[in-house]
Amino acid sequence: MKWVSPFVLNRLGLLNMNRRNVDYILRYNDRAAYPLVDNKLKTKLAAAEREVATPRLLQVVSQQHEISHFRELVDQLEGFAIKPSKGSGGKGIMVIIRRQGDDFIKGSGATVTLATLERHLSNILAGLYSLGGAPDVAIVEELVKTTLALERFSFRGVPDIRIVVFQGYPVMAMLRLATRASDGKANLHQGAVGVGLDIATGRCVNAVQFNRSIVLHPDTGLSLDDIEIAGWTQMLEMASRCYEATGLGYMGVDLVVDADQGPLLLELNARPGLSIQMANGCGLLPRLQKIEKLKRPHFTAEKRVDYAMAEFGR
């Protein structure tokens, strides 16, 4: 077993879970704002007010009998995503990329029937994927079409960008790429690749899989160093505006880049993970403390992004 000394971690300014919970989440995140984040329907509404685009909503299924409406809707659709509104950590999300006769092809390539989809919907309604098992509603969204520039790096799945926003300032960012090991999912602990992104430029600074540094994508073999996100400033400003939309001082903003619509907000997270630090190879703490020490915070998203790009770039 390999261990790391806590002094090394302190030197790197690593934010650990207890400290994140006590000093940042409990202190800066108002409990009353959580429903905005934990409920994707509410997130969509709040985001729309601040001109933050989200994937187009196709249908909301809130009752068992409404599943029959879904059957009517699904006939006209090629690809779509079913999500539990109160799901967390990507649980219960089913992405259908195309149809094959009467069957549906999932993002992972597996084939499912309409009956499976309906059972999935009814599971969502019963609260299987929601926090605490509370009854939930299912939302059906338009499928996001990844830009070619990013799609080639990912093994199936949609690459998404996680930006940690502290008091409206984007402090750290990473790109998550699905791999064969992660079964097309963008969860780092399942083996997805995490690419740390430079806040100043949107370029790759470091990449990890299973927390170990890598240079090439394990499935596509492409050099991860070449990654550069187009429209980076615009994305940071979008993420920063989510602070005004929710009032959460410490959150994670998950964005995707759609080929037609540009950056879209996928979801917000009131308890962003710690693995973003490993993808970037540096700790969050110095950056968070720098913002905490600011005497005069900036009031517009543009100014906050300017400040962050100047301060936190490599």
Partner 1 sequence: MTTRSRIPFYFGVAALVTAGIALAVLRHVEMGVPWFSDEQRPLWMVEARIDFVARGEPVLVSLSIPENPPGFRILSEQAASPGYGFSIIEDAGSRRAEWTVREAEGPQNLYFTAQLVQDPSRPRQKDETDPEPEDVFWEEPLATAVQEVLQRAEAKSSTPESMTRELIRLLQSDDPDQNISLLLANGDKIQVLTRMLNHSGIPARITDGLKLEDARRRQSLRPFLQIHNGDQWLIFNPESGQQGLPEDVVLWRENSSSLIDLNGGTNSQVSFSMLRQTVPSMQLAQAESSASGFGMLSLYQLPIEEQSMFRMLMLLPLGALVVAFMRIVIGVKTSGTFMPVLIAVAFLQTSLVPGLIAFVSVVAIGLLLRGYLSSLNLLLVSRISALIMLVIFLTTGISIVGYQMGFSAGMTVTFFPMVILAWTIERMSILWEEEGPREVLTQGTGSLVVAVCAFLAMSAPLAGHLTFNFPELHLVVFAVVLLLGQYTGYKLSELRRFEPMKAYDK
Cβ closest to partner 1, residue 75 vs residue 212: 212
One residue of 128, 149, 200, 222 binding partner 1 per CB under 8 A: 128
Residues 191-220 that bind partner 1 (CB under 8 A): 206, 208, 211-213
Cα dihedral sign, 197-284-2-18:
negative
Q: Is 65 in the site for partner 1 (CB under 8 A)?
A: no
- Looking from the CA of 122 toward its CB, the CA atoms found within 13 Å total 11
One residue of 6, 109, 297, 313 binding partner 1 per CB under 8 A: 6
Nearest approach in angstroms of CB 19 to partner 1 is 4
Sequence letter at residue 120: H
Give the binding range for partner 1 (CB under 8 A) out of 219-227, 235-243, 254-262, 273-281.
273-281
Residue 74 tokens, joined = 């699904």
Q: Is 34 in the site for partner 1 (CB under 8 A)?
A: no
Integer angstrom CA distances of residue 235 from 48, 161, 190, 207, 302: 15, 9, 26, 20, 11
Nearest approach in angstroms of CB 280 to partner 1 is 9
One residue of 59, 88, 108, 123 binding partner 1 per CB under 8 A: 123
One residue of 122, 220, 233, 261 binding partner 1 per CB under 8 A: 122
Please say whether the beta carbons of 233 and 305 come within 8 A. yes
Task: Report the b/e string of 237-260 with b at 16+ CB within 10 A.
Answer: bbbbbbbebbbbbbbbbbbbbbee
Environment class of residue 5 by beta-carbon count within 10 Å: exposed (0-12), middle (13-18) or buried (19+)?
A: exposed
Please say whether the beta carbons of 49 and 241 come within 8 A. no
Q: Is 133 in the site for partner 1 (CB under 8 A)?
A: yes
Please say whether the beta carbons of 36 and 79 come within 8 A. no
Q: Is 88 in the site for partner 1 (CB under 8 A)?
A: no
Give the binding range for partner 1 (CB under 8 A) out of 54-62, 100-108, 230-238, 277-285.
277-285
Residues of this chain that bind partner 1 (CB under 8 A): 1-6, 8-9, 11-12, 14, 16-19, 22-23, 27-28, 91, 115, 119, 122-123, 126-128, 133, 190, 206, 208, 211-213, 249, 277-278, 281-282
